[in-house]
Structure 1
Amino acid sequence: MTDALEPGFALLGPVGARPMMGMVSPERENALLLGIIEAVSTGPEVEPVAAAVAALITDATATDVCFVHVLDDNGHSLTLTGATPPFDDHVGRIRLPIGSGVTGWVASHHEPVVIVENKELDPRYLPLPALRGTEFTSMVSVPMATGPAGLVGVLNVHTVARRAFTDRDVRLLMVIGRLLAGALHQARTHRKLAARERMHERFTEQVIAAQETERRRLAGDIHDGISQRLVTLSYHLDAAGHLLRESPDDAAEQLGVARELVDLTLDEARAAIGGLRPPVLDDLGLAGALASLARSVPRVESGLDLEDVRLPEHIEIALYRIAQECLQNIVKHAQATSADLHFGVRDGRVRLEVTDDGVGFDAAGDDVSSGYGMQSMTERAELVGGTLQVTSRPGGGTTVVATVPLPAS
């Protein structure tokens, strides 16, 4: 990876031959190590760290180019991750299998290689035209490895002029390699965790979407099947009531019972449809659905402060269900006369707050977390990456706050 150059290219700008130097002075060595420590502390991204360190190394060691090759996640090949100009355009494009070329040999043997001149005579040498290796005379290639991570990659420096690298030069590059290995290992781990978190978010969205799709289908089946048949049945029962002539009192009584059963079944079917998939959420959005939900609560005056903004569907559904459970708890247990709903988005986070003036309860008690309603709300919030906070005390009302971060997209 570091051993080749493209024919016909002249060395330009920073790739021009530098004056040959001996060992790096102790002062310059300390400044280099401090600069590298500062560079690897700037952030978790692999490429910027590799590029910054490559530039620091060439400046401090009076070499002409530096290449940082990082071991791929599969452990079978190396990818050029950092390079000094003009080779920075090739970052991410150059790959070398383990064992191939000088760089691949260093990766497989975990040993440094120093070539002072005549690279072409070394059997390990593999020309890579994109990196114009024939234009450089001397090189050092060292493994980047650290105890916890093992081999992370290979670090190479090249000079146009012949240079006899000393043992101290090699030791310095090995120290740099270990520092860079630790930083790159942490950056790669951070990248894997971030990718895993994104996969988890997508999986959560898919699960919720699949659940809601199935609920829509069930709601449609109930509406088009059970409800329609019950409506038809009620018509037939009404007609039968007019046609009956024998024992009209008994018939009327039986028909009245049947009629009550039909009405009850219809009410249950409508409630099931609304529970599976609230149509108002599709029609009005979350703000309108919350307002409609609050107005449906009997004997409780509602105060509303709702921002009219659309959110990803899975978040809207979760927040609607949380609000629905809160209001049901207020009706069943709170003995409240008023409830306030606040909903809005600030700084990339959604906040839903439901407050009542009811009897309250001991929020620190064991029965709170064990209650199905509270557990259900907590799980819904956590399923979309959010949190649920409950504040209450006996005689002091209750406040439930759900906070959910919006996806980066």
Structure 2
Amino acid sequence: MSDVLGLADPERENGLLLRLIEAASIGPAVEPLASAVAQLITDATDTDVCFVHVLDDGERSLSLAGATAPFDRAVGKVRLPIETGVTGWVARNRTPTVIVENKESDPRYVPIPALRGTDFTSMASVPMATDTAGLVGVLNVHTVVRREFTDRDIRLLVVIGGLVAGALHQARMHRRLAARELATERFTEQVIAAQETERRRLAGDIHDGISQRLVTLNYHLDAMEHTLLQDPQVAAGQLVLARELLDLTLDEARAAIGGLRPPVLDDLGLAGGLASLARSIPELELSLDLAEERLPEHVEIALYRIAQEGLQNITKHAGATAGRLRFAVRQGRAELQVSDNGAGFDTVAISETATGYGMRSMSERAEVVGGTLHVASTPGGGTTITAVVPVEGLRA
């Protein structure tokens, strides 16, 4: 193919630049921008199809964000792990690559049925990256007939990738911010609902348990008062019943208080509280590695609740037989880690859909005290939840 029909035509380069500027002004959404870019690149480069793969927020996979027809129907449905295929190789190495023919013989090539790679002979793949945003995605162009992509072709595609990367990075940031705002709204609603549920539960516990027992206790004391002189044995029996009711009422009161604030932290500190928490789950074999360090009260409560939620998740969902609970303070950071040998899950697959209250609650508790929560899991490989909180300069 001659330079006149290739990417080296100055007129086409200028036209492409103008169309890129127009595409960048479409709006903050990733998919419309990527689709517009895919179409204008195929028009300007005389290629048959263009795929725009964008790095997801977790930077572990690439999602098809834009494509020319008829592959536009696959947008949002194709996701490639960062270590997979030619596209993954280009993303990892941030180096353009060209396959002129026989893609199947290239050890990097992995067929994707939805994209019908065998229908095309030649391809060029370049990273979309900028100095400020880093890697944003990968841009692929394909041709049905055999084509030699020149060095100038590749340089121009790299420039296009850089220009597109800036706009796509802004669109990703906007999407991430919008998703976070939505998640925050949902979490706030869940917190309010949970607070109201907890208040109703606590009120019910006090009314049905503590209040009723106090009424009955008062009855036994009245009976003891009336029979104390007439029948001391009956009075003594009433006193025994009164003491039993008092013990039950105190237990219920402690349980209610513990639901609001873990008193074990006052008595034993965070390490002792975590050990006590582990002992409350006898069905799970937990190894403990807990530093005897005291932290500010609000940090200890947050880490205790994160551990509590993490252990509850293990018993409810993981199907685990063993786990580990670790707490350490070093280099100005407190680190809490809860791990298990259970079923695990695909963090990439659920990264954009996981909105469960438990996981969000742990993440929010960490963020409230200035920390972060990281979840590492693979199907069949167990799960590790790590909360890290900076404590430099904080005094317990």
TM-score normalised to structure 2 length = 0.48
Higher relative contact order (CA 8 A, sep 6+): 1
Structure number, greater radius of gyration: 1
